[in-house]
């Protein structure tokens, strides 16, 4: 199988896993607020349970007794089924369970697509552009459905069907691959390892607030879905484009630090520049940096830990997932959205400072 085919198949799988399995809820949230009466607090719980499922998926993927190809297939089927089932309203607890399953399966697809594509020498820039591509495509579908005044249930069913069709088309591509991922030897983390873990966790906490609530914030600023609905596609396009330029800089620590500061500005910008313009610029800043930080963080882990990089990456991913869980829960608590955005920006600035002062 040629590397280009592998990269494109991985791109499509990540588009489903991340664009739909993890982040479809974001552009559908304004629709659910209108026709399902979903509150911001309820939205915070639905977001957090999805990220909790993602954490569980990341922790269990390393010991899942399946080949990479088989795990990808299972994950794609679970994402498709749980997304389609969101179109049936059987109660809030039912939605919580479905979003948890989608998060779990999304982590499996991300981990095993990476392993499968790496074994077949696919290009990382193309592969990870799938995340932003999926976000942009999902946002465009929801934008069109809002223009047609479709219900949120229609959006979930449509995206579920898209996932199923894509899974069928990809099924034969994922017909071989390495065996089950084996656990790497554990190494005691040093002080520099802990710095990367904490800063990556801060990144998870910082980016997830706008990544969850930007469309809802845009809807509050302007009621026309033909305008506020562009927020999520813009976020996704910025995320996809950024992966092609992130690797052109030699010092990934500096890339991580600068991207973190830009993200901090994007997080707090809607409070500084009220209205749709501030929110759209925030979508560009946050969307254009979150995949950059992901790639830079993983590369820095390899540089610092060398042959012991896998345990460090696992710890960083766990911290990232924990930060994602905490963020929406704070929004759903008495802290509120504005206060949590400020807190997220402060945490990001502090983590950027830590990266500056920690030098080899």
CB atoms within 10 A of CB 161: 14
Does 297 lie in the same domain as 158?
no
Q: What local confidence, expressed as pLDDT, does residue 352 receive?
A: 92
133 closest CA partner among 104, 166, 101: 166
**For the chain, what is the domain count?**
2
Does 148 lie in the same domain as 165?
yes
The vertex-257 CA angle with 242 and 194, nearest 5°, equals 115
Does 248 lie in the same domain as 214?
yes
Q: Are 108 and 75 in contact (CB under 8 A)?
A: yes
Going by C-beta distance under 8 Å and a sequence separation of 6 or more, which residues neighbour residue 325? 48, 51, 52, 55
Domain boundary among 129, 158, 183: 183
CA 268, chain centre distance (Å): 19
Does 213 lie in the same domain as 151?
no
Does 234 lie in the same domain as 111?
no
Taking only the tens place, the pLDDT of each residue in 87-131 is 998 889 999 999 999 999 998 898 788 777 756 765 666 777 888
Does 205 lie in the same domain as 330?
yes
- CATH number at 221 reads 1.20.1250.20
Q: Measure the CA–CA gap between 337 and 340, rounded to whole angstroms.
A: 5
Does 248 lie in the same domain as 112?
no
Could you tell me if residue 122 is left (phi over 0), alpha (psi between -120 and 50 degrees) or otherwise beta? beta
Is the pLDDT score of 176 beyond 60? no
* Domain coverage including residue 86: 1-183
Domain boundary among 124, 156, 183: 183
The vertex-237 CA angle with 231 and 239, nearest 5°, equals 100
Both tokens assigned to 296 = 């830079």
Taking only the tens place, the pLDDT of each residue in 283-301 is 889 888 988 898 788 778 7
Does 142 lie in the same domain as 63?
yes
Does 106 lie in the same domain as 216?
no
Both tokens assigned to 107 = 């982590």
CA 129, chain centre distance (Å): 12
pLDDT-derived band at 310, boundaries 50, 70, 90: low
Q: What local confidence, expressed as pLDDT, does residue 360 receive?
A: 57
Domain boundary among 129, 154, 183: 183
Does 197 lie in the same domain as 62?
no
Q: Are 253 and 354 in contact (CB under 8 A)?
A: no
């Amino acid at each position: 199988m040629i590397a280009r085919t592998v990269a494109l198949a991985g791109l499509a799988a990540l588009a489903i896993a991340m664009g739909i399995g993890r982040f479809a809820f974001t552009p559908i949230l304004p629709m659910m607020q209108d026709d399902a009466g979903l509150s911001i607090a309820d939205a915070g719980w639905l977001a957090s349970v999805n990220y909790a499922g993602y954490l569980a998926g990341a922790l269990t993927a390393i010991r899942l007794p399946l080949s990479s190809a088989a795990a990808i297939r299972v994950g794609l089927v679970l994402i498709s089924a749980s997304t389609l089932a969101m179109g049936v309203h059987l109660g809030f607890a039912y939605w919580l369970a479905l979003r948890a399953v989608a998060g779990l399966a999304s982590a499996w697809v991300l981990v095993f697509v990476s392993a499968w594509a790496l074994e077949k020498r696919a290009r990382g820039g193309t592969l990870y552009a799938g995340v932003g591509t999926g976000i942009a495509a999902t946002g465009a579908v929801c934008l069109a459905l809002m223009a047609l005044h479709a219900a949120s249930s229609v959006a979930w069913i449509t995206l579920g069907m898209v996932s199923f069709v894509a899974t069928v088309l990809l099924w034969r591509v994922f017909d071989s691959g390495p065996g089950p991922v084996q656990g790497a030897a554990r190494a005691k983390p040093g002080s520099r390892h802990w710095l990367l873990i904490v800063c990556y966790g801060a990144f998870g906490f910082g980016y997830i607030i706008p990544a969850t609530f930007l469309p809802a914030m845009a809807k509050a600023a302007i009621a026309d879905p033909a305008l506020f609905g562009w927020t999520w596609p813009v976020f996704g396009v910025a995320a996809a484009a950024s992966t092609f330029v992130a690797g052109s800089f030699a010092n990934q620590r500096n890339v991580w630090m600068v991207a973190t500061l830009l993200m901090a500005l994007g997080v707090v910008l809607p409070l500084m520049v009220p209205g749709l313009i501030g929110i759209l610029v925030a979508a560009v800043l946050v969307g254009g940096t979150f995949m950059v930080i992901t790639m830079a963080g993983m590369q820095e882990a390899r540089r610092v830990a060398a042959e012991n990089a896998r345990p460090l990456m696992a710890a960083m991913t766990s911290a990232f997932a924990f930060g994602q869980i905490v963020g929406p829960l704070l929004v759903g608590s008495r802290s509120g959205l504005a206060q949590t955005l400020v807190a997220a920006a402060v945490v990001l600035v502090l983590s950027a400072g830590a990266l500056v002062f920690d030098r080899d």
